[in-house]
Amino acid sequence: MTNSSTQALSVLTVPAFHDNYLWLIHDGVHAVAVDPGDAKPIRAALEANGLKLTAILLTHHHADHIGGVPELLQHYQVPVFGPRNETIAAVTLPVGEGKVFDVPGLPLRLSVLDVPGHTMGHIAYVREATDDAPTWLFCGDTLFAGGCGRLFEGTPAQMISSLGKLAALPDDTKVYCAHEYTLSNLRFARVVEPDNVALQERVKVETDKREHNLPTVPSTIGVEKATNPFLRYREPAIAEQLVQAGRLDRIDTPLATFTALRLWKNDF
Ligand code: ZN
Ligand code: FE
């Protein structure tokens, strides 16, 4: 049962470009856009659902995540939350780890995690579980379904620490990542961990979704912990596979495994 003071929120998936997902969190009246790389599909989704934009949330400075902001601001004068450690012209409310804030217009409280690696200032937004919904995570290009973001600015050690923060969230946390990269990520995952039964099952499930043109996102933290090699690099089988493939000289530290894994994925 919901009452008027705890109106249920939903998340709308807004596909954009080739393989981006932009997100609209809304209560049926007001909406906040997460990473609106393109204004057109956001405006169309707002109009189609009779929603009014009340805020914009950004995870990092890449164009496919912020490109639609100027056009949205022409139509909606709203605050723009974004990473305090990056320079993004449109950001009016810089936030970073430890910040907890109420999103204007919605019964939505978010907390911020610093998750450097893909970019140096990358942040993620977390909504704690409610009576009606599990934890929600909006993690941009840090954690993907079956993979993780490329290290354009940060180090493998930073990415390990960032992914560790996300993996510490409850298993039923919904992972709203920003790209549909799942099948190609899982193709790589299968090569590095061929005997993972949960992974084999997941490949079937996600392949079926894509064949029916359905998004594989959101995923959950539990599924990622069971199948995503970038959360599983401490598994001995993964290090052994890297050695066998000539991607790692010998079994070494988890950091060495993670580094080799990320480099291999880059040219997979
Ligand atoms: Zn990016
Ligand atoms: Fe991106």
Domain harbouring 56, CATH code: 3.60.15.10
pLDDT at 86: 98
Residues 59 and 138 in one domain: yes
Domain interval for residue 244: 233-268
- Tell how far the Cα of 7 is from the centroid of ligand 2, in angstroms: 31
Residues 158 and 238 in one domain: no
Residues 26 and 147 in one domain: yes
Nearest-angstrom CA–CA distance, 26 and 262: 35
- Tell how far the Cα of 141 is from the centroid of ligand 2, in angstroms: 5
Residue 228 in domain = no
Enter the pTM of the model: 0.96
Confidence of residue 5 (pLDDT cuts 50, 70, 90): very low
Residue 268 in domain = yes
pLDDT at 7: 65
- Among the listed residues 35, 62, 114, 122, the single catalytic one is 62
Residues 201 and 252 in one domain: no
C-alpha separations of 58 from 6, 48, 88, 174, 209 in Å: 25, 23, 9, 18, 28
* Domain count along the chain: 2
Amino acid 157 reads A
Residue 225 in domain = no
Residue 81 in domain = yes
pLDDT digits (tens, 9 = 90+) for 110-163: 999 999 999 999 999 999 999 999 999 999 999 999 999 999 999 999 999 999
Residue 226 in domain = no
